[in-house]
């Protein structure tokens, strides 16, 4: 990931390539309300079903709170997901906002351990004062993927007989077979439509 941080002199400082971790030791020493802005441009494994990593871009703000660091950001990515009707893999645009508080595990001045809040699933800043955005971004991205994704609104799906993708054209299967027990009802429905 390229982490680019706006310094106190309103210039952007590039921290280079690496994993999606940011050293926040100086921000932890800053007063409550201090802000640090970071550009995110990194690859994250979102686990959208295709086994591929997704490029995530955007900007996050790191805000010093009385308990830790609040991360707020607007991020964009594209995940490769499988259509729930035709089973084709397609690109799905993800635009999401994140807001998550990270808690330090070590005091920056003394090096003493700090008790982490008993909140299940809370995010922590490690012993080297590194804040890792990877898991939070992955979780927020997964929440943006629909439960039943469609490659397009009018997706025709698969033929129930042969499994042919009907978006690519009709298959050679005969039309739907009507259950003989419903023939009389089908005839009556057709007659009624003809008289209207």
Show pLDDT as tens, one digit a residue, over the chain (196 residues): 344 444 333 333 444 443 488 999 999 999 999 999 999 888 888 776 666 788 899 999 999 999 999 999 999 999 889 999 999 999 999 999 999 999 999 988 888 888 888 878 889 999 999 999 999 999 999 999 999 999 999 999 999 889 999 999 998 888 777 788 888 888 888 888 876 6
Measured in Å, how far apart are the chain's first and last C-alpha atoms?
66
CA–CA gap between residue 58 and residue 56 (Å, rounded): 7
Report the length, in residues, of the chain.
196
Predicted TM-score of the model (pTM): 0.74
Beta-strand pair 130-132/21-23: antiparallel
Please give the helix or strand (H or E) that residue 77 lies within, else none.
strand 69-82
CA–CA gap between residue 19 and residue 168 (Å, rounded): 41
Please say whether the beta carbons of 28 and 109 come within 8 A: no
Beta-strand pair 12-14/21-23: unpaired
């Amino acid at each position: 990931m390229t982490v680019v941080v706006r310094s106190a002199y309103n210039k952007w400082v590039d921290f280079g390539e690496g994993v999606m971790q940011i050293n926040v030791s100086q921000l932890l020493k800053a007063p409550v309300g201090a802000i640090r802005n970071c550009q995110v441009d990194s690859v994250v494994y979102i686990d959208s079903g295709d086994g591929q990593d997704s490029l995530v871009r955007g900007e996050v703000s790191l805000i010093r709170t009385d308990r830790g660091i609040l991360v707020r950001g607007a991020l964009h990515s594209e995940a490769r997901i499988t259509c729930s009707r035709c089973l084709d893999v397609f690109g799905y645009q993800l635009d999401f906002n994140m807001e998550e508080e990270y808690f330090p595990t070590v005091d920056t001045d003394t090096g003493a351990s700090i008790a982490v809040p008993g909140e299940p699933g809370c995010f922590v800043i490690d012993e080297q004062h590194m804040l890792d955005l990877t898991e939070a971004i992955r979780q927020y991205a997964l929440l943006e993927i629909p439960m039943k994704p469609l490659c397009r609104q009018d997706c025709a799906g698969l033929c129930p007989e042969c499994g042919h993708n009907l978006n690519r054209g009709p298959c050679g299967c005969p039309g739907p077979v009507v259950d003989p027990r419903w023939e009389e009802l089908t005839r009556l429905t057709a007659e009624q439509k003809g008289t209207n």
